[in-house]
Structure 1
């Protein structure tokens, strides 16, 4: 997770940044259902890299507070991303919420008129207030099947179809999502979870354990990430009860579920969220990782970013049989090649963890490092940007042709 300090907001965004092949003075507007300071994941990895070449605005969902006047809070992160948060009074009608967001968005973009605009959607729901925009390029980066999540708005599927109808390109966060979307749009590309290897590999340095885990007995089995309906809390409790001699360390914010419903045993430690930069220190203090995902509609299409992050940290990891984890990281049908062990229930989880805790690390780490050398967030962003720039140049050429045609028409009319 990240905890970027707020900066000063300027009425106009800085321009003139450079990267490999950006279209000059391009503005990238990201419309997100996730908050920048929540968990550092796919949007943050990609957009911090985008900010090296584009001016990036990350527009979040509103925050409601009693008795305030509507305003748009603008803060610039150290990475150069402008985070825009609508602050709205409680009690507004649904129509007023949409209208206010649309007005705020128009005011935000008005000083940027004339610049090339990329609209980067993470949530189809943003079409309710941003559907009137006509960006040069519209990207739908589909990182999750949001319609399957608990509390998904009723219009999610309808608006996703509208977004697919308008998008110039669709990116997906894993193979299962790609297979679900590839026949719904003419230009769908699969960009699975990637890795900042250098960041997580620092966990291998044998540094001192963080204070809140240093005194916990080993072996320590760890999890990090959002704790919500995608976690099989029952499995965590059963596993901890089965192996009271192991310590289970759980890092991440609890959302959409009641913390009281989580298992609370002496060997389970729910630590809450931690900053992204702190994660390697925690992973370095663990002996193995586990991914106890539930098997339900909300996990059907997931491609967990934490999979390669565990591996980069040098930690063996056991996961429930999530489709993309099995296909990308699990054993092959002939039983070879697996970097992640797969288990379905508490007894098989305990057996798999016991096996990886005893397994020699060196041969396995060589396989891990060979595989991770093939992927990175830098490479993922470079490939995405290549597709966006191609579309942006095409849009610019079309705009010039239309402008020239208009000039010819006016000349013929004697204007």
Structure 2
């Protein structure tokens, strides 16, 4: 039986608080969790619970309020604890904190099945699993991740997936699965179409510029990038983002390869404004089979031509609608980049941009959050009816 608490919040004007369990740091790359939770924070209290950091003199929760309105909670644990010990300690800390904060009614939103044990002392109104990636396919994924996800499916009241391919893989594992692919804040990225100043670290670089931003990890096709840079010394490749889980020394180097590091979300339009082509050079491997890159609609909103490898959630819908050029293999990818460069300033290029704008008009993170919220409330209603039925028995 599901445990559902009803308290003064349930009957009041405030929506129940939302506890979010995530494997991604709040201040890391601004992506799906940040887009959704900043919107959630407009109408409810949002507590974003990160994975622990170790080295504190005693176990405690570090709590801070982000400018977005989201409260970020970071467990700070003593060094030397095993992962299971750390989760058990976090579970005790979190349960005590929820009680101290008088959170009588709240929902639980989970991104990371591995951390499910930290919810042991919680009794949410609704449990949501936002499955944004197939984490079990990532480099270094723990072997017990799939079992933890199966347990989460049994507990979840509603499941969201971050893309179509992921939806196909998960829809038979739960009776209430809904697909919510990556959306976009069009107005933010459309700033790139204005005369924004070229950022200081990019301004000296020659044109044409072919750019990428995001996490540079095992999903990134290093060999493709290196061969493109070798073949086209006049093209300059701008790479923005942190390098994680791979050795930075493995990245290709050259006079036309420029690694400018991680940038804030607010800075991205200024970089995009001075790119000639935006790239999605993802490798085709287990870690990329289920991804739905948030940057696809962001690139298009900026008005920059896009070339991608054949990632399923880019092919459908962007490739099928001829909004993004799809090319696998270095020969085809090079040809697609050349075609995108040639199309700049032509009627065909403008027509492609107009088609992209028409499609983007159907997308927004605000709409995504509103639709998700409605499904959460439907799940809450079902739980309440079920609880009343149990009481009547």
Same fold (TM over 0.5): yes
Alpha-carbon shift at residue 103 of structure 1 (Å): 1.1
Q: What residue is the counterpart of 1:295 in the other structure?
A: 284
Give the match for residue 39 of structure 1.
29
Deviation of the 1:99 alpha carbon:
1.7
The one of 54, 79, 83 equivalent to 1:94 is: 83
Among 240, 250, 269, the residue aligned to 2:239: 250
Q: Is the 8 A contact 1:23 1:389 kept in 2?
A: no
The CA deviation at 1:200 is 0.3
Aligned with 2:201: secondary structure?
A: helix
- Alpha-carbon contact 2:277-2:306 (below 8 Å) kept: yes
Alignment match, 2:341: 357
Counterparts of 1:121 and 1:128, CA distance in 2 = 12
Question: Corresponding residue for 1:58?
Answer: 48
Task: Please give the alpha-carbon distance, in whole angstroms, between the structure 2 residues aligned to 1:399 and 1:114.
Answer: 20
Equivalent residue number for residue 112 of structure 2:
123
Check the 8 A contact 1:25/1:115 in 2, yes or no.
no
Residue in 2 that maps onto 1:348: 332
Residue equivalent to 1:158:
147
Residue 69 of structure 1 pairs with residue 58 of structure 2: yes
What is aligned with 1:379? 367
| Cα distance, 1:393–1:112 mapped onto 2, change above 3 Å | farther
- Tell me if structure 2 keeps the 8 A contact 1:144–1:301: yes
- In structure 2, the partner of 1:11 is none
The residue matched to 2:258 in structure 1 has which SS?
Answer: strand
Q: Unaligned stretches of 5+ in structure 2?
A: 1-7
Q: Does 1:282 align with 2:266?
A: no
Work out which of the residue numbers 194, 197, 200 in structure 1 matches 2:186.
Answer: 197
Task: Compute the displacement of 1:343 (Å).
Answer: 1.2
Number of paired residues? Answer: 380
CA distance in 1, matches of 2:86, 2:34: 26
- Give the conservation status (yes or no) of the 8 Å contact 2:309–2:327: yes
Correspondence for 1:395 among 376, 380, 383: 383
Partners of 2:64 and 2:27 in 1: how far apart? Answer: 11
C-alpha distance after superposition, 1:73-114 (max 9, x if no partner)? 101111110000011122113332122111111122113446
Shift of 1:395: 3.1
**Counterpart Cα distance in 1 of 2:300 and 2:15:** 38
C-alpha distance in 2, partners of 1:59/1:23? 25
Contact 1:304 1:325 in 2 (8 A): yes
Separation in 1, partners of 2:184, 2:83: 39
**1:116 Cα offset (Å):** 2.1
1:226 Cα shift? 0.3
- 3-state SS of the aligned residue for 1:119? strand
1:133 is aligned to 2:122:
yes
2: CA distance, partners of 1:25 / 1:376: 22
RMSD of Structure 2 on Structure 1 (CA) = 1.8
1:181 Cα shift?
Answer: 0.3
Q: Note the C-alpha offset of 1:132.
A: 4.2
Contact 2:75/2:90, CA 8 A, preserved across alignment: yes
TM-score, structure 1 normalization: 0.88
Q: Does 1:338 pair with 2:322?
A: yes
Structure 1 range deviating more: 350-359 or 169-178: 350-359
- Residue 253 of structure 2 corresponds to 264
- 1:235 and 2:224 correspond: yes
Secondary structure (helix, strand or coil) at the match of 1:254 reads coil
Q: 1:138 to 1:23 in 2, by over 3 A?
A: farther
Please name the residue that 1:109 is paired with. 98
In the alignment, structure 1 segments of 5+ residues that lack a partner are 1-14, 17-21, 407-415
Once residues 313 and 196 of structure 2 are traced to their aligned partners in structure 1, the CA distance between those partners, rounded to angstroms, is 32
**Alignment partner of 1:83 out of 61, 72, 88:** 72
Q: 1:327 aligns with which of 298, 316, 320?
A: 316
With normalisation by structure 2, the TM-score equals: 0.93
Closer, same or farther in 2 for the Cα pair 1:363/1:95, shift >3 Å? closer
- Offset at residue 207 of structure 1 (A): 1.5
| In 2, Cα distance between equivalents of 1:217 and 1:93 | 50
* CA contact 2:95–2:121 (8 Å) conserved in 1: no
Q: Which position in structure 1 is the counterpart of 2:159?
A: 170
How far apart are residue 64 of structure 1 and its match? 1.5
CA distance in 1, matches of 2:120, 2:253: 46
> What SS class does the counterpart of residue 133 from structure 2 fall into?
coil
